[in-house]
């Protein structure tokens, strides 16, 4: 079997396999291929599946993408000798379901929320596809804590609990309110925003609520953990990162603007697949920022 015929065989058998195991349509697969950075058009995939003419470069792209989906979701690999997908039985293998992300504009690869902090519904939708971890980095996390004890459980808490039950780890980071850095930071902002004068006291209240929440979550022994951390760096921006080390990773970022309420700072939403360079830069910044953070327990 030559290279062209092999690519056709991989795609055709792979599409059939995924349709039978996961009931995926071609639209599902197109979305997943886009997430993996192996995007092809709907007409191209249809042509390949139906044995119609397709160029070798797009054949290769589709074949590589389909193999990656099957390897990560089914632990199977195409064996050239058998011309079939075989089970690998990889030790310690865990399925990773390649996400389909409808939130980010396909043409630009990002969404800018100019009005600032997104709604609870937007946040829960954004986190819903998480498979490994969700990371929230803020300053006081007052609003974050309030989502759990000042709103109906169905609005936010139930969504986080659902993630924990699936084995997703949720990590929350806030500025250590007992640090000199916190005093300096809030004192500086209080010069133009009077509300920041009580920020340290408010931050300590948030911390106490988050301590109780972490203890509550721990008592339930969910497969996923809920952990709170304290950092001691100047807060440059807010992070909401979903699976930052996986192909389906995505982020929301809001830079803290001097003189502007943090809730009103524009939010940039983007994915690893559509904005790989941007994603890499923010992921490295996130890693450096939380590296020395101290867990509460």
Residue 61: is its pLDDT beyond 70? yes
Q: How confident is the model at residue 200 (pLDDT cuts 50, 70, 90)?
A: very high
Does 200 reside within a domain?
A: yes
Same domain for 68 and 127: no
> Do 26 and 155 belong to one domain?
no
Q: What's the structural domain count of the chain? A: 2
**Looking at residue 114, which CATH number applies to its domain?**
3.30.870.10
157 in any annotated domain: yes
User: What is the token pair recorded at 172?
Assistant: 């929350």
Same domain, 49 and 132: no
The reported pLDDT for the residue numbered 104 is 53
Indicate whether 132 belongs to any domain: yes
Q: Are 138 and 79 within one domain?
A: no
Q: Are 151 and 221 found together in one domain?
A: yes
Residues 50 and 192 in one domain: no
- In this predicted structure, the answer to whether residue 74 has a pLDDT above a threshold of 60 is yes
In a domain, 168, yes or no: yes
Per-residue confidence (pLDDT) for residue 106, from 0 to 100 = 52
State whether 160 and 53 are in the same domain: no
Q: Does residue 105 fall inside a structural domain? A: no
* Domain extent at residue 271: 110-295
Task: Show Cβ contacts of residue 31 under 8 Å, excluding neighbours closer than 6 positions.
Answer: 100, 101, 102
67 and 115 together in one domain: no
Residue 243 lies in a domain: yes
Residues 68 and 116 in one domain: no
Q: What is the pLDDT of residues 146-181, one digit of tens each?
A: 999 999 999 999 999 999 999 999 999 999 999 999
Residue 104 within a domain: no
Domain assignment of residue 96, yes or no: no
Q: What share of the chain is helix, strand, coil (3-state, %, to 5)?
A: 45, 15, 35
Residues 172 and 207 both lie in one domain: yes
Has residue 107 got a pLDDT over 60?
no
User: For 280-293, how does the pLDDT look when each residue is reduced to its tens digit (9 = 90+)?
Assistant: 999 999 999 999 99
**Local confidence band at 108 (pLDDT 50, 70, 90 cut-offs):** low
The residue among 52, 87, 122 that closes a domain is: 87
Sort strands 169-175 and 226-231 into parallel, antiparallel or unpaired: parallel
- Judge whether residue 109 has pLDDT over 90: no
pLDDT exceeds cutoff 50 at 184? yes
Q: How far apart are CA 240 and CA 157, in angstroms?
A: 16
**224 and 165 in a common domain:** yes
Residue 77, SS3?
strand
Same domain membership, residue 163 and residue 22: no
User: What is the model's pLDDT at position 99?
Assistant: 87
pLDDT classification of 269: cutoffs 50, 70, 90: very high
């Amino acid at each position: 079997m030559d290279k062209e015929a092999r690519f056709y065989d991989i795609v055709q058998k792979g599409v059939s396999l995924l349709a039978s195991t996961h009931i995926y349509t071609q639209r599902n697969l197109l979305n997943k291929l886009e997430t993996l950075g192996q995007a092809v058009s709907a007409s191209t995939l249809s042509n390949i599946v139906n044995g119609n003419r397709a160029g070798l470069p797009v054949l290769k792209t589709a074949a590589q993408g389909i193999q990656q989906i099957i390897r990560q979701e089914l632990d199977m690999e195409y064996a050239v000798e058998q011309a079939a997908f075989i089970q690998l039985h990889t030790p310690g293998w865990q399925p990773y379901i390649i996400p389909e992300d409808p939130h980010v504009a396909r043409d630009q690869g990002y969404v800018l929320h100019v009005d600032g902090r997104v709604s609870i519904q937007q946040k829960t939708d954004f986190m819903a596809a998480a498979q490994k971890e969700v990371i929230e980095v803020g300053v006081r996390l007052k609003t974050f804590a309030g989502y759990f004890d000042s709103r109906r459980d169905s609005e936010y808490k139930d969504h986080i609990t659902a993630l924990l039950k699936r084995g997703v780890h949720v990590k929350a980071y806030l500025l250590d309110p007992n640090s000199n850095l916190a005093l300096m930071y809030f004192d500086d902002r209080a010069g133009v925003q009077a509300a920041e004068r009580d920020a340290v006291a408010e931050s300590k209240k948030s911390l106490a609520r988050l301590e109780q929440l972490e203890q509550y979550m721990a008592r339930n022994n969910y497969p996923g953990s809920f952990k709170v951390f304290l950092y001691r760096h100047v807060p440059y921006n807010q992070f909401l990162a979903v699976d930052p080390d996986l192909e389906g990773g995505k982020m929301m970022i809001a830079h803290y603007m001097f003189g502007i309420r943090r809730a009103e700072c524009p939010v940039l939403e983007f994915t690893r697949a559509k904005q790989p360079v941007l994603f890499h830069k923010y992921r490295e910044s996130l890693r450096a920022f939380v590296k020395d953070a101290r867990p509460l327990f």
